[in-house]
A and B are shown apart, each in its own frame.
Chain A
Amino acid sequence: MSPLDIVVAGLGSTYRGDDAVGPMVAALFAGVHDDVRDVGPLAEPLDLLGRFDGADLAVVIDAVRSGAPIGTVQVMDIDVAHVNDDGTVEPAVTSTHGIGLVGVLRVARAIDRAPRRLVVVAVEGEAFELGSSMSAAVQAAVPEAFLAVARLIESEQLCA
C-alpha cells in the first residue's frame, strides 16, 4: 500500500487573537502521523499552492465569522471537481492579494494540481485584532477542532 499524502494547513496569524486557532490546531499534528504534513502557519490561501498539490486529503483549519455561536466547529467537504462552476462565489474584495480559497482551488484545478479531497475545519471566532488574545470560547473549541481533523485523517487512512 503506498503511503497517503495528507496535508494539514492552519490558516491565520498567531498575533491576531482567534485567527491563531488554525495554526494552533495544525501544529498539534506535526510529526504525529507519517502520512501527515503540517505545512506550517499560512498567511493566506494562496500559500496552499505548491503545498497541497495532488494530496490525497488536504485539511484547512481556519477561523471564520459566519454568524454561528463563537467556538462553533464546522466541517465542510469542498467539491474539488466542481467548486464554483456556476461562478456564484464572488472574489473577496479586500482579501490580501485577492485570491481566496475558492480561487486557489480553481487555479490548482486548472493546472491539474488540486488535492483529491479538500475539507475545511472552520472555527467561529470573534476577536481578530492585532495583539489580542484568543477568546475563551475559541480556546475551548480547540479539542473539538483537533478531534474533527483526527477523524478526517483516520477515515482517509481506513479507506486507503
Chain B
Amino acid sequence: MTHGTNRNRTVSAEGVARVEGEGSLRVVVHDGTVSEVSLDIFEPPRYFEAMLIGRHYSEAPDITARICGICPVAYQLTACAAMEDALGIVVSDRVQVLRRLLYCGEWIQSHALHVYLLHAPDFLKCQDAVELAERQPSVIERGLALKRTGNLIMETVGGRAVHPVNVRVGGFYSAPEPEAIAALTAPLERALDDALATVQWVAGFDFPAVTGAYRFVALRQDGRYAIDSGRPGSSDGLDVTPQRFAELSVEEHVARSTALHARLDGRSYLTGPLARYALSGSLLPEVVRDAARKAGLGETCANPFQSIVVRALEIAFACHEALRLVAQYEPPVPAADLGITRAGVGTGVTEAPRGLLLHQYEIDGDGNIVRARITPPTSQNQLTIEEDLRRVVEGGLELDDDDLQWRCEQAVRNHDPCISCAAHFLDVVVEHA
C-alpha cells in the first residue's frame, strides 16, 4: 500500500511475498526525505534456543535442522562444528569432503529456488513463479532441474532432501557407497551447464542503478571459496576466530520485531553471496570467473539487485565444486569421529546460502546443553536491508506508488531473507508523511 504525494509518502507492505516467513515493511517519506524505514518481523519467535536447553549435544543437528526447510544442512553442519569445537573433535578429511559435498547440494537447491521461483519474477514483471512458469515454461524447467540436482545430492549424502537424517556430530551415520556418489557426476555436469546458462540469463535483466556502501562479512578459507568452514573476515580488514566473532557480533532486541538485530563492533554489516564474492571471488574456478566477467561483474558487486547474478554464479561454483568432490570421494572409515563427552563451550560458523551462520553452545559434563545461541544470516543482514530500502526509496521517489512498492519488496528479496530462520518476514508500507 502506498499513499501521499511524491514528497510525502508512506509505503507499506503487509505480508511481503516470496520471502521465507512473515514480516512487513514500512517506509515514511517526509518532504522528499526518507524519515523512517523499518523491516518489521512478527512471525512468532522460534524458541529453538530454549528448546535445546537440557537436550543432549548429539540432538542439536537434527533439532536445529527444523528451523528451516530450505537450509537444514546449514543448521546441521554449523551445530556439528560448534559441538565438535566444544568436545575437541577433529573430523577426518574424508568427512570434510562429504560434508562440503552435502553443503554444495543445499547451495544448489536453495539458490535455484530463490533465483528462479522467488527473485526472477521481480525482474520480469511477473506476479509470481506461476506466471513465469506459464510465460516461460522452459526457463522454469531449467530451474527445477537445477533444484532436483541439489536435492539429489542431499538425498544421496544426507538420506533425504528435506531435513537430512544422516548427519551427526563427528561425521555421518553411514558413508554413501562410492557408486552412489559417482552416479552424481552426470547430473552435475548437466547442472553446471544449466547454471552457466542461468548466469547468462539473469545478467540480461534490467538492474536499478543502486550502489550499497557495504561492510561485507564472510568466512575466508585458505585457497578456496569458503562454505563449510573458515575464519570470519570483513572487507575492512577483520580477520578473527569464530569465538572472537561471536563476541564482536552483538544481537539486540528491537521492539517492533521478534528477530534479533546484529551489529558488529556496533555497526551494520552484510553477509551472503555479495559478501562472499567480494572477499573470496578470486578463488572461484576459472569457468565461474569467466562467466562473471561475461556477466559484467568486477571484483566486487555492490549493486544489491545484481545479487541474483552472484547467486547464479554460486550455483555454478557449487556444481563445479561438487564435481571435484565427487571425483575424489572415498568413504570415511569410520563414518564419524566420536569424541569423549566433556563439559565445554563450542562455536561453529559456516556459510549458509543466505550468509554466515553462527552457533554457540555450552554443554555440561554429561553432554547436555546448558546454553545455546543461534545467529542466522537474516538477523545479521536486517539493518543493512533497511539501509538498502532507504537508498532505494530515495532514488525512486519519481516512481508511482505501485512501482515504488514493487521495488521496495524487490530490495528486500535481493538478500533472500529467511525470516523463519531469523525469528524470529514481510508486509510493505510506504508512508509519505
Contacts and interface: CB of A to CB of B under 8 A. Distances in A.
Given A40-B160, A40-B162, A96-B20, A107 B69 contact: no
Interface in B113-137: 113, 117-118, 128-130, 133-134, 137
B66 A49 contact: no
Interface in A1-46: 13-15, 40-44, 46
Contacts of A41: 162-163
Nearest to B159: A40
B49 to A, nearest CB: 12
Interface in A97-111: 97-99, 103, 106-107, 110-111
A67 interface: no
A42 B162 contact: yes
Nearest to A47: B162
B144 A49 contact: yes
B420 A96 contact: yes
Contact of B113 (A93, A97, A111, A130): A97
Which of A41, A50, A94, A95 is most buried by chain B, counting CB atoms within 10 A of its CB?
A: A94
B376 interface: no
Contacts of A40: 160-163
B140 interface: yes
A98 B22 contact: no
Nearest to A84: B130
Interface stretch (B11-19, B197-205, B325-333): B11-19
A91 interface: yes
A131 B188 CA distance: 38
Contacts of B129: 99, 103, 107
B172 interface: no
A118 B11 CA distance: 40
Interface residues of A, number: 29
A91 B128 contact: yes
Given A91-B128, A93-B15, A93-B17, A47 B69 contact: yes
Contact of A99 (B66, B117, B134, B420): B117
- By secondary structure, the A interface counts as loop
Nearest to A14: B66
A75 to B, nearest CB: 25
The listed residue with most B CB atoms (<10 A of its CB), out of A13, A41, A46, A107, is: A107
A110 B132 CA distance: 9
B265 interface: no
Nearest to A112: B137
A15 B66 contact: yes
A110 B133 CA distance: 6
Contacts of A14: 66
B177 interface: no
B128 A97 contact: no
Contacts of A131: 47, 51
A137 B231 CA distance: 50
B128 A98 contact: yes
A93 B13 CA distance: 11
A94 B118 CA distance: 14
A47 B113 CA distance: 10
A96 B21 CA distance: 5
Interface in B132-179: 133-134, 137, 140-141, 144, 147-148, 151, 160-163
Contacts of A13: 66
Contact of A110 (B18, B70, B140, B148): B140
Contacts of A94: 15, 22, 425
A93 B425 CA distance: 11
B47 A103 contact: no
Contact of A50 (B17, B134, B151, B420): B151
B46 interface: yes
B151 A98 contact: no
Contacts of A96: 20-21, 69, 420
A97 B117 contact: yes
Nearest to B45: A130
Nearest to B160: A40
Nearest to B51: A131
A97 B147 contact: no
A47 to B, nearest CB: 6
Given A46-B117, A97-B113, A106-B134, A111 B128 contact: no
Interface of B: 14-15, 17-22, 44, 46-48, 51, 66, 69-70, 113, 117-118, 128-130, 133-134, 137, 140-141, 144, 147-148, 151, 160-163, 420, 425
29 contacts: A13-B66, A15-B66, A40-B162, A40-B163, A42-B69, A44-B69, A47-B161, A49-B147, A50-B147, A91-B17, A93-B14, A93-B17, A96-B21, A96-B69, A96-B420, A97-B18, A97-B20, A97-B117, A98-B17, A98-B128, A99-B117, A103-B128, A103-B130, A110-B137, A111-B141, A112-B137, A113-B144, A130-B46, A131-B47
Given A93-B15, A94-B425, A110-B133, 18 more contacts: A13-B66, A14-B66, A40-B160, A41-B162, A43-B69, A46-B113, A46-B117, A50-B151, A91-B17, A95-B17, A97-B18, A97-B117, A99-B128, A103-B130, A106-B133, A106-B134, A111-B140, A130-B46
Interface of A: 13-15, 40-44, 46-47, 49-50, 91, 93-99, 103, 106-107, 110-113, 130-131
Report, nearest first, the 3 A-B pairs whose CB atoms are least far apart: A43-B69, A93-B15, A110-B133
